[in-house]
Chain A
Amino acid sequence: MGAILELQGVTKRFGGLTAVRDVSLAVAPREIVGLIGPNGAGKTTLFNLITGVYRPDDGRIRFNGERTDGLSAYQIARRGIRRTYQVVRPFPEMTVLENLMVGAIFGTPGQGRLLPVEAAAQARRTLEFLGLGGRAETLSKHLNLGEKKRLELGRALTADPALLLLDEALAGLTPSEIDHAVDLISRIRRELGKTLIIVEHVMRTIMKISDRIVVLHHGEKIADGPPDVIARDPQVVEAYLGEAML
């Protein structure tokens, strides 16, 4: 069926709490999927399941047709999935360039998995793409939040992954930084041909950039469809309890 990522009945429990319940989802190549839901809906847990940080208690995950649930995080990463973090986690004591080089050196087959010398060149190209060229030699702990988020995006991009998972890539950014990030995300799909799943709370933005919106609530998928349909879905509106959906 040509899906790059396919989840079938994925469930994850933490003790008595079911964080993700019976979620099925298929993502097509070059699609941008917005993943939304109230706090605690299971969005980040779903990312952790896809990237192998957690293993699902039930269900299957396939990436490019291959079962990946049960593989370790690094094995899944090498097959071409990269992520960013809700609370940014750049490598603090490494320079911006070194952060991106790690991405390239441990990248996916093809363009990735470069020798350190080639990785530096690849990292510099990505820094230009992100508009971070002037910060190459800065220790990443000295960047501001917007720059750290771009750094994480760059560190993921240098690995040349087929699928990018962005966990609140826009939260905490200023309006102009949001515009810049939105532009970057659409270019990542258009120019680099990536598939993206984006968790986001900035509703107006996520509705604008996504081809499709998936809504999680209490760990279950309650809606899946085009942004304009989702915005009017009574179940979704109820889940957000009066939050303006626009």
Chain B
Amino acid sequence: MTLLALCARPTPIALLLAFAVMALIPLARNPELNGYFLTLLDLMLLTYSLNMVVGFSGYLSFGHIVFWGLGGYTAGMLVTTIGRAIAGELTFSPYLLVPLGGLVASAFAAVIAYPILRIRGAYFAIATFSVNLAVQTIFFNVPVFGGAEGLPLKRFMSYQIVPAFYWLLAFGLLAFLSSYLILRIKLGYGLLAILNDEDVAQTMGVNTTLYKILIYIIAAFFAGAGGAVWALAQVFVDPENFGITRSIEMFVAMLLGGVGTTLGPFIGAFIYFAIKDLLIIRFPHLHLVFFGGIIMIIVLFVPGGLVGALRQHVPGLRRILE
């Protein structure tokens, strides 16, 4: 069965249309609108990445932002290094470096995956969080990486938001398609088995170690690519790119949309932004506090998020929403 035949179902068709509509946004030539959707797409891509690990394998990757930060620094370091070598602005689009950000994040994931994925449950969450803190501290203190001041890139490239928007849109679509495909191949079934009961999965012939490492590496690629786009869009990268805020945001978006579904991260990012807009207007400094409460309410009462709740309560939607 080809990928094309697999995609002839309501969820992928709806999402392909949604991405096509979003591609029209920059035509409005409204910088504010572009900026708004750039932030939204950035969160969406991160949520797709997080969902591959948390939603597919059940491992709570709490320090997931480390891949995003590494992607950003990869882009930043490449732009400054090349820029200094040619003593001026880059002669090619710096966004061509984005895939390298993803690859560096994947390489880092490959290095830490084997030891870290042996740890289960809450201890895994703590371990990933610690890895993120350790990496952040390194970038904070090593002068080559710009230290606390970070890396300003404006000497070597100009600020261009529209290409950043399209790169994030393309990677968002790719992350959705990858999620959708992964759940339909051997890897997806192995991961679902791990999510449900890892010990049983092993006695059923699932190479659990390999599968966990594979999904960790794939997920890191998308987070890294997103981080690279973000750094180039901001023309700046600093240790705040490993900050905790986005870690919380992507968890909220994932939970709102529906953990483990392929539609969830897309919907979740939109709901998150809608709620955030409402809250920020009234409580500019406290909106994150409310998101703590929202996480608790979702986990207690709607553990499946919007997609999960719809699938559960409207039986006809089970085959449509994936």
Contact = CB atoms under 8 A, between A and B. Distances in A.
B199 A53 contact: yes
Contacts of B200: 85, 89, 91
Contacts of A77: 202-205
A92 B203 contact: no
Interface string B181-214: 0001110011011011101111111111000000
Contacts of B17: none
A89 B196 CA distance: 9
Contact residue range for chain B?
Answer: 20 to 34
Interface residues of A, number: 30
A94 B184 CA distance: 14
A159 B192 CA distance: 17
A74 B205 contact: yes
A78 B205 contact: yes
A53 B186 CA distance: 23
Contact of B186 (A91, A92, A116): A116
B96 interface: no
B199 A82 contact: no
A92 B199 CA distance: 14
Contacts of B197: 89, 91-92
A212 B263 CA distance: 54
Interface string A152-181: 000100010000000000000000000000
Given A85-B200, A117-B1, A159 B205 contact: yes
Contact of B185 (A85, A89, A102, A116): A116
Nearest to A119: B189
A91 B193 contact: yes
Interface string A104-141: 01111000000111010000000000000000000000
B196 A74 contact: no
A159 to B, nearest CB: 7
A18 interface: no
A98 interface: yes
Given A74-B204, A102-B189, 6 more contacts: A74-B206, A91-B200, A106-B186, A106-B193, A106-B206, A159-B205
Interface of B: 1, 184-186, 189-190, 192-193, 195-197, 199-208
Interface of A: 51-53, 72-74, 77-78, 82-83, 85, 89, 91-94, 98, 101-103, 105-108, 115-117, 119, 155, 159
